[in-house]
Amino acid sequence: MSGVFQLSGKRALVTGANTGIGQAIAVGLAQAGAHVVAAGRSSCEETVGLIQDARATGEAFALDLSDPAAAAAKLGEAGDLDILVNNAGIIRRDDCVDYSEADWDDVMDVNLKAVFMMCQAFARGAFARGAGGRIVNIASLLSFQGGIRVPAYTASKHGVAGLTKILANEWAPKGINVNAVAPGYIATNNTTALREDPKRSAEILSRIPAGRWGDPADIAGAVTFLCTPAANYVTGAVLNVDGGWLAR
């Protein structure tokens, strides 16, 4: 049974792998046996070091998703890939009535357009080789909820959920499973301010049945599962990893 949870011989690329959730995903996939291409606009050498510390293999790959077409065109330089994890994302906050077109475009380019174009490039490469593969997109609780003061982020993450489903519909017959993971409140650099605000942190924790903030490794485990043979019959799913937040 343990073999179905292994990724030995697979090559995986993870975007936004320099820190936080992306870093944890990269390490998790490597621990399962995959060779991981840790991709990011910032250096991913720390992530590669963590992979090597785990006696696994990986490499850093410079990739700037703010130009989605250029990033997708560069994907082939990462070698033949079996797994793509679209983790990279940005957020810009402002009242909806004041939200700028520039912020809207920047968020949508990285969070949605780049995700589609990376998926497209991955699939083209797989089809040309006659191979299948796995894609896991990182969605959000705001794929289901509205949030406040983050209109572009909310729209983009709703889009990621929908995109995951249409690609699953088209590509499952060709051997590519496409799924998404929707993280809840995770303890990363991006949530430091929330966790250090006693009132806001207490409000958040009061709604989470698990009674704690998530750890990046919690997301890594879910993503790794979706990439293994154990998830052969899972496609088009958006898996909530939120400590029960959405069930409350």
Q: State pLDDT tens for residues 12-47.
A: 999 999 999 999 999 999 999 999 999 999 999 999
pLDDT at 190: 82
Count of domains observed in the chain: 1
Report the percentage of the chain scoring pLDDT > 70: 99
Residue 73: give its domain's CATH number: 3.40.50.720
Spatial separation of the C-alpha atoms in residues 89 and 111, rounded to whole Å: 5
Q: How far is CA 182 from CA 104, 130, 177, 206, 232, in A?
A: 21, 30, 17, 20, 19
**Cβ pair 122, 135 in contact under 8 A:** yes
| Mean pLDDT value across the chain | 97
pLDDT at 193: 84
Full residue range of the structural domain in which residue 91 is found: 2-247
Tokens of 59: 């490499």
Dihedral sign, Cα of residue 226, residue 46, residue 38, residue 163? positive
State which residues of the chain have pLDDT below 70.
Answer: 1-2
pLDDT at 165: 98
pLDDT at 2: 64
First and final C-alpha spacing in the chain:
34
Active-site residue identified among 99, 153, 185, 233: 153
Strand partners, 85: 14, 136
Active site residue 185: no
pLDDT at 1: 52
pLDDT at 189: 86
Which residue stretches of the chain are H helix?
20-31, 45-53, 68-74, 101-108, 114-129, 151-171, 192-195, 198-207, 216-227
Greatest alpha-carbon pair distance for the chain in Å reads: 54
3-state secondary structure of 134: strand
pLDDT at 161: 98
